[in-house]
């Protein structure tokens, strides 16, 4: 199982989004995502999201907020399974200058209201709504067959 962290960096009603267009054989190719990546040995999810944000954007996150845990279950068109646990963060406080180049793709500040119009995973719409409306920690399981979301389950903390 892959362990990763993902952060939606906020500024002025916008999220910093990454358009994944630079790597071949990328499961996320041509999709728009928040900022993040895989945990390295000995790293906590928070350590990972801070490191990945700096490496990809040049920004230093200040106190990213842990919002939820997403279990992403994917079956490729060839029937190959992949499971990933994504530790989801949001962060509105950061320092530094946005990097001019990112080896993962193109960085762009996108109005929060416009993000759902981009090429994103269908399940991302579920947790983006939760980031906007739900203050509690949540668990979300997303199951995909190729690009199609076939099921999801949401558990909110305290329920």
Q: Per residue in 94-124, pLDDT tens?
A: 999 999 888 889 999 999 999 999 999 999 9
Structure confidence at residue 20 as a pLDDT band (50, 70, 90) = confident
- In this structure, what token pair is assigned to residue 87? 């530790």
Could you give the CA distance from residue 30 to residue 26 in angstroms, rounded to a whole number? 9
Could you give the CA distance from residue 33 to residue 103 in angstroms, rounded to a whole number? 14
> Residues 129, 135, 139, 142: what is their CA dihedral angle, to the nearest 10 degrees?
0
Structure confidence at residue 154 as a pLDDT band (50, 70, 90) = very high
Q: Which helix (H) or strand (E) holds 141?
A: strand 138-145
Q: Could you report the per-residue pLDDT of 36-91, keeping only the tens digit for each? A: 999 999 999 999 999 999 999 999 999 999 999 999 999 988 889 999 999 999 99
**C-alpha separations of 115 from 39, 93, 156 in Å:** 26, 20, 23
Number of compact structural domains in the chain: 1
Mean pLDDT of 11-18: 96
SS (H, E, C) 83-113: EEEEEEEEECCEECCCCCCECCEEEEEEEHH
Mean pLDDT of 25-37: 86
User: Could you list the residue range(s) of the whole structural domain that residue 15 is in?
Assistant: 2-156
What pLDDT does residue 158 have? 67
Answer for the pair 61, 132: CB distance below 8 angstroms, yes or no.
Answer: no
Q: Is 1 helix (H, G, I), strand (E, B) or coil?
A: coil
The CATH number of whichever domain residue 146 belongs to comes to 3.90.79.10
What pLDDT does residue 159 have? 65
Mean pLDDT of 21-50: 89
């Amino acid at each position: 199982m892959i362990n990763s962290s993902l952060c939606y960096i906020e500024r002025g009603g916008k999220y910093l989004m990454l358009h994944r267009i630079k790597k071949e054989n990328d499961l996320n190719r041509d999709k728009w995502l928040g900022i993040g990546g895989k945990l390295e040995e000995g790293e906590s999810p928070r350590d990972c999201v801070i490191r990945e944000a700096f490496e990809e954007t040049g920004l230093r996150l200040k106190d990213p907020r842990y919002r939820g845990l997403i279990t992403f279950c994917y079956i490729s068109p060839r029937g190959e399974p992949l499971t990933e646990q994504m530790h989801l963060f949001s962060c509105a406080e950061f320092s530094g200058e946005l990097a001019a180049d990112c080896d993962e793709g193109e960085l762009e500040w996108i109005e929060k209201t416009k993000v759902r119009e981009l090429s994103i995973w269908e399940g991302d719409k579920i947790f983006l709504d939760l980031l906007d409306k739900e203050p509690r920690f949540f668990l979300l399981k997303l199951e995909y067959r190729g690009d199609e979301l076939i099921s999801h389950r949401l558990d909110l903390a305290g329920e």
